[in-house]
């Protein structure tokens, strides 16, 4: 199997440093599609804006949006599948917008409330996702079973505080 541009280290680096990639499935945005009306309206706005700007536009396109959400460049996916063309588009956009490299996300430990919730949000099946508040069911189990509920919750909390504090120091956030 041939590797595409999204497996290219330069493309990966540019996307991770400077962009927020968003993937949209065309079927979800058509009449009867799963997306809510406001999402469909936004999808159509981007398409129409690209047409008005005389950019390449259609249902199988890569659109580059400015930070305020306006279409500034695009490529048909067949063109974007050519690694050098996608790199050119990304680098051209970086120069045009004077994008500064962002900091990589340093995820908190999943043993902390922040990390447990972040893991839930980013690994849940989007077809069955349900927003929830942090709860003890999101935390990974303790190494040894603790039968007493209050003691188990106390130990989970203590581990969370310790791991989060260590992570803050290691990440230079404290």
pLDDT at 99: 76
pTM, 2 dp: 0.54
Q: Mean pLDDT by 10-residue block, N- to C-terminus, for the chain (174 residues)?
A: 69 78 78 86 91 91 86 90 91 86 74 90 81 90 96 96 91 76
Q: What is the pLDDT of residue 25?
A: 76
Q: Residue 51 has what pLDDT?
A: 94
At CB < 8 A and 24+ separation, what contacts does 133-141 make?
139/110, 139/111, 140/110, 140/111, 140/116
Task: Write down the domain spans for the chain.
Answer: 5-97, 113-170
Amino acid 1: pLDDT: 31
For position 163, what pLDDT does the model report? 94
């Amino acid at each position: 199997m041939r590797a595409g541009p999204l497996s290219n280290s330069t493309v990966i680096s540019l996307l991770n440093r400077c962009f927020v990639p968003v993937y949209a499935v065309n079927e979800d945005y058509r009449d009867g599609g799963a997306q809510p009306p406001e999402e469909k309206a936004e999808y159509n706005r981007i398409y129409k804006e690209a047409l008005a700007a005389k950019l390449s536009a259609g249902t199988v396109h890569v659109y580059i949006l400015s930070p305020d959400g306006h279409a500034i460049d695009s490529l048909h996916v067949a063109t974007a599948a050519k690694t050098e063309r996608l790199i050119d588009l990304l680098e051209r956009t970086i120069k045009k917008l004077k994008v500064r490299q962002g900091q990589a996300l340093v995820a908190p430990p999943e043993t902390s409330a922040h990390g447990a919730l972040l893991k839930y949000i980013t690994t849940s099946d989007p077809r069955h996702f349900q927003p929830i508040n942090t709860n003890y069911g999101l935390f990974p189990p303790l190494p040894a079973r603790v039968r007493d509920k209050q003691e188990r919750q106390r130990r989970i909390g203590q581990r969370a505080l310790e791991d989060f504090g260590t992570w803050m120091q290691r990440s230079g956030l404290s």
